[in-house]
Structure 1
C-alpha cells in the first residue's frame, strides 16, 4: 500500500522521478549520515581531539555498515530522529573491531541535527547536479526551437483571445527566458544552501571547548562544504529559499504545459505535444498527458512551498515539529521538480509544430489580427481617434460578413495606404527577432 503518488508503482512513472527519489530512500539517508560521522572523526583526528586510530576505525565501520532501516524504526519513533539508533549501531560496530575506547569517540561533541542536516545538504548538492543538468538540456532544446521557428507566424493571444501576430519562436523564447533566470537563481542560492551544519547541543560547540572552530573548519574541508557565520539549526531560510526555487522551476514549466494544452486543443491544433495518451472509451482521443503533468506538478509545488515557510518558525535553538515538516515537504518538492524537468525535456524533443495550421488561423481571422496595424497605417493620414473609429467599424463588418478587414477599409477610406502590402502577417512581428536574439544570447552565455 502507498499513500503517495510519488511512491506508487502505478502513478510513479507519471509523477515521480527515480533519480531524485533515490536520494531520499532510507538507505541513502543512512549512508549519507554515516559519511558525515566518518568525516567528523577524520576532522577531529586532524585537530587532535580524538586519536588517529579511533578515526580510522570509525571511518572503516561507517563505510562497511549497512543498517536495516526497519531495525532502527522503533527507536526512531521513540526518539523522534533516527540518529541515536544509528549512532548506537555504529558504536557497536566500532567496539567490535577496535574496542570500547575507539567506540566512545563516535559522534564526539556533535548533536543529531548536525549529522542529519549536513547529510541533507550533501544529498541536496547531488540533487542540484541532477536538476541543473536537466535544465541545461532543456535550455538547449528550447533555444533550438526558438531559433528554428522565428519565422513561423501564429496568432498571439491575450486574455485567451486572438490579439496580434507573433512567431512561435517568440513564444518558445518566452518559455525559455524565465528558465534562464531560474538557472541564475540556482547559482546565486547555492552558497547560502550548501553549508555545513555543526553546532553541537545548543549551537555553541560547547562540548569541544576551544577546539570547536578548528573542528568545524576541518569538517567543512573534508566534506567540501562552506561554513556559515554561526550554526543554522534554527535558521531555515536557506532551505525555504531552495524550496521557493523548486516552485519557481515547476511554475516555469507549468506555464509551458498550460500553453501546450491550449495550443493542442482540437479547435486550435497548432501543436501536437508528443504521441499523447489514449482514452478508455473514445478512440479518437490524444490527451496531452505530459503537459498536464507539468501543470499538476507546478500547482503541487506552489502549494507545498508554503509548508517550508511554516518550517522556518523554529522555537528557540531547535524545534522538532518544524523540522519534521521539512522532512514531509522537501523530498516531495524535489521529486516533483525532477519529474517536471523530465517531462519538459521529453516534450521539447517530441513537439510537432503545425505551421500550416497557424497560417490558416491567421487567414481565418479575416485580417482582424491586423487591426492594430491598420489603425497605425491610417493614423499617418488622419487623427488617431478617427483612424481607430474607422477600423473598429470595419472590424465589426468583417466579423459579420466574413470579408477581409483591409478590403473593407479600402472601400471606406481613400487614404493612400498600400493595403495589399500590409496583408502579410509576417510584416507585423515588430521586434520579435531582436527579442529572440537576446534570449538566445543569454542562453549561450
Structure 2
C-alpha cells in the first residue's frame, strides 16, 4: 500500500481524487510558481521597477519552460524547498540579461504560498461543483419522500414518527451551511502572498505595497492586511471546512449504514445488489460507499489537528509549521473530494424501501404515538394523570402484544366519560403525527433552490 491510500493504484478509487490530483500535481504546482514569477515581472515592469525586455522574457516562461522535475527533487532534498532549484533552472533558460530581474523583491515563501492559493482556487471550484450536485440530488430525494412515513429514532430506538423526506432534509441542511461558509472563507483565503524576506518588502523601498496590490490584481487574488508568512489561520479555516463538510456527509452515510442493516432494511445504497459483495456470503450487499465516506471524515478530523498545530509559528518566518501543512492539507483535500464524489453517488442512487419503512412503523404497535396520546389526554384529564395512564398503557401493550391505542382507549374510557370528554381515537395514526414536517422540508428545499439559483 502507498503511504497515502489516495495515491495508490489499488485504493485511489476509494480515497483518491483524480481531478484534484491533476490540479495539485507537481507539474501543476511548478507551473503556478512560474505563473507567479511571470506575473510579478509583468507588474514590476509596468511600475518601472525592472526592464521591459526582462519582463517579456520572464513572462514567456509560462509557455516555453519545461521543468526538470528530477533535478528539482534533488534541489528539494538539498534545500528543503523547490523554489531555489526552480529559480536556477529558470535563470539558466533566461540568460544573463533577464535572469537578474527574476524573483525581484520576492522571497521563496511568497512564490510557494501564492502558487498554493492559485491551486486552492481551482480545487474549491471542483469541490463546490460537487457539493451543489449533492444538494440538488438530496433536494429531489427529500421532495420525493416528503410523505414517506418512517420511524424517527433517538438513541437508536424508535421514538416518534417522521418522514424519510424530513430525514433527507436533515442531511441537506448542513450542506447548505457549508456552502455558505465556503462563500465566506474564499475572500479570506484567496489572497496573494508577497512580503519579501521578513514581511517588510524592504527590498522594494516605497513601492512594496504597490507591487503587492498589482500582483494581486494580475493574478485575480485579494490583498491581505499583512503578509501571512506565519499567519496561517486562513489555511486552518480551509482545513476546518474540509473536515466539517466531510463530517456532515458522513452523518448521512452513518444513517444509511444503520438503515441498511438486515433487521431494518429500509434503504439500499444502489439498485446494483452485487456492489459491496462478500467473498464467502453471497447474500450480502455491504454499504461500502457509506463506509468510505465515514472513514474519510474520521481521517480528515485527525489530520485537522496537524493544521491547527501548524498555526504555532515562530516570529516572521517559521521552522516547521509549513511542512506540517504539506503533510496535512493535500490529503484532506483528496479525502473531502472523494467524500463529495461518493455522497453524490449515494444521493442519486439510493433505493428507498417505503413498504419496509411502513412495516417497521406498524411493528411498533403504535408505541411511537405515546407522546402524542399523552398530550391529547392532558386536556381532559390533566398532564399528570395523562402521563400516568399512558405509561401504564405502554407497559400493558408491550406485555400483551396489543396496539397501544386500543389499550389506552380501554384504560381511559371511564375517566373520560366522567369528565364528559371523548377523543377521536381513529385520528391517532403515525401519518397524522408528523408535526410541521412538511413546512420544515419546504424551508430546506427553498434554501437549496436559492443556493443553486445563485450559482
Q: Quick one: distance in 2 between partners of 1:7 and 1:167?
A: 40
Shift of 1:336: 0.5
Worse overlay, 54-63 or 3-12: 54-63
**Residue 252 of structure 1 aligns with which residue?**
248
Q: Quick one: distance in 1 between partners of 2:402 and 2:108?
A: 76
Asked if the contact 1:35/1:63 (under 8 Å) is kept, the reply is: no
**What SS does the aligned partner of 1:315 have?**
coil
**Residue 26 of structure 1 aligns with which residue?**
26
Shift of 1:421: 2.2
Q: Quick one: distance in 2 between partners of 1:408 and 1:390?
A: 10
> Would you say 1:444 and 2:449 are equivalent positions?
yes
Asked if the contact 1:264/1:272 (under 8 Å) is kept, the reply is: yes
Asked if the contact 2:166/2:440 (under 8 Å) is kept, the reply is: yes
Shift of 1:371: 0.7
**What SS does the aligned partner of 1:40 have?**
helix
Q: What CA deviation, in whole Å up to 9, does each residue of 1:76-115 have, x standing for no partner? A: 11211100000110000111xxxx0211111111100000
Q: 2:427 aligns with which of 410, 421, 426?
A: 421
**Residue 380 of structure 1 aligns with which residue?**
379
Asked if the contact 1:150/1:168 (under 8 Å) is kept, the reply is: yes
Q: Quick one: distance in 2 between partners of 1:81 and 1:320?
A: 12
Shift of 1:24: 2.2
Q: Quick one: distance in 1 between partners of 2:23 and 2:400?
A: 63
Q: Quick one: distance in 2 between partners of 1:374 and 1:167?
A: 19
Q: Quick one: distance in 1 between partners of 2:335 and 2:22?
A: 13
Asked if the contact 2:39/2:215 (under 8 Å) is kept, the reply is: yes
**What SS does the aligned partner of 1:381 have?**
helix
* Structure 2: gaps of 5 or more residues: 417-421, 451-455
Q: What CA deviation, in whole Å up to 9, does each residue of 1:258-297 have, x standing for no partner? A: 0000001010001111133111111111000111111111
Q: Quick one: distance in 1 between partners of 2:374 and 2:211?
A: 73
Shift of 1:412: 1.1
**Residue 397 of structure 1 aligns with which residue?**
396
> Would you say 1:199 and 2:195 are equivalent positions?
yes
**Residues 176-325 of structure 1 aligned to structure 2 (within 5 Å):** 176-274=172-270, 275=272, 276-325=275-324
Q: Quick one: distance in 2 between partners of 1:217 and 1:411?
A: 80
**What SS does the aligned partner of 1:70 have?**
helix
**Residue 453 of structure 2 aligns with which residue?**
none
Q: What CA deviation, in whole Å up to 9, does each residue of 1:186-213 have, x standing for no partner? A: 1111111000000010001111112212
**Residue 74 of structure 1 aligns with which residue?**
74
Q: Quick one: distance in 2 between partners of 1:2 and 1:432?
A: 47
Q: 2:435 aligns with which of 419, 430, 433?
A: 430
Worse overlay, 332-341 or 435-444: 435-444
Q: 1:103 aligns with which of 86, 90, 99?
A: 99
**Residue 83 of structure 1 aligns with which residue?**
83
**Residue 339 of structure 1 aligns with which residue?**
338
**Residues 59-70 of structure 1 aligned to structure 2 (within 5 Å):** 59-70=59-70
* Structure 1: gaps of 5 or more residues: none
Q: What CA deviation, in whole Å up to 9, does each residue of 1:382-411 have, x standing for no partner? A: 011211111111111211221100111111
**What SS does the aligned partner of 2:150 have?**
strand
Using the size of structure 2 for normalisation, the TM-score is: 0.95
**Residue 141 of structure 1 aligns with which residue?**
137
**What SS does the aligned partner of 1:165 have?**
strand
**Residue 35 of structure 1 aligns with which residue?**
35
**How many positions carry a matched residue from both structures?**
440
Q: Quick one: distance in 2 between partners of 1:162 and 1:289?
A: 25
Q: Quick one: distance in 2 between partners of 1:150 and 1:297?
A: 30
Q: What CA deviation, in whole Å up to 9, does each residue of 1:301-345 have, x standing for no partner? A: 111111101001111111131000001100000010100000000
When the two chains are superposed, the root-mean-square deviation of aligned CA atoms in Å is 1.0
> Would you say 1:56 and 2:33 are equivalent positions?
no
Using the size of structure 1 for normalisation, the TM-score is: 0.97
Asked if the contact 1:62/1:90 (under 8 Å) is kept, the reply is: no
**Residue 7 of structure 1 aligns with which residue?**
7
Asked if the contact 2:34/2:61 (under 8 Å) is kept, the reply is: no
**Residue 155 of structure 1 aligns with which residue?**
151
Q: Quick one: distance in 2 between partners of 1:68 and 1:93?
A: 12
Q: Quick one: distance in 2 between partners of 1:340 and 1:291?
A: 9
Shift of 1:2: 2.1
Q: Quick one: distance in 1 between partners of 2:239 and 2:25?
A: 19
Q: Quick one: distance in 1 between partners of 2:302 and 2:23?
A: 22
Worse overlay, 328-337 or 378-387: 378-387
Q: Quick one: distance in 2 between partners of 1:381 and 1:44?
A: 84
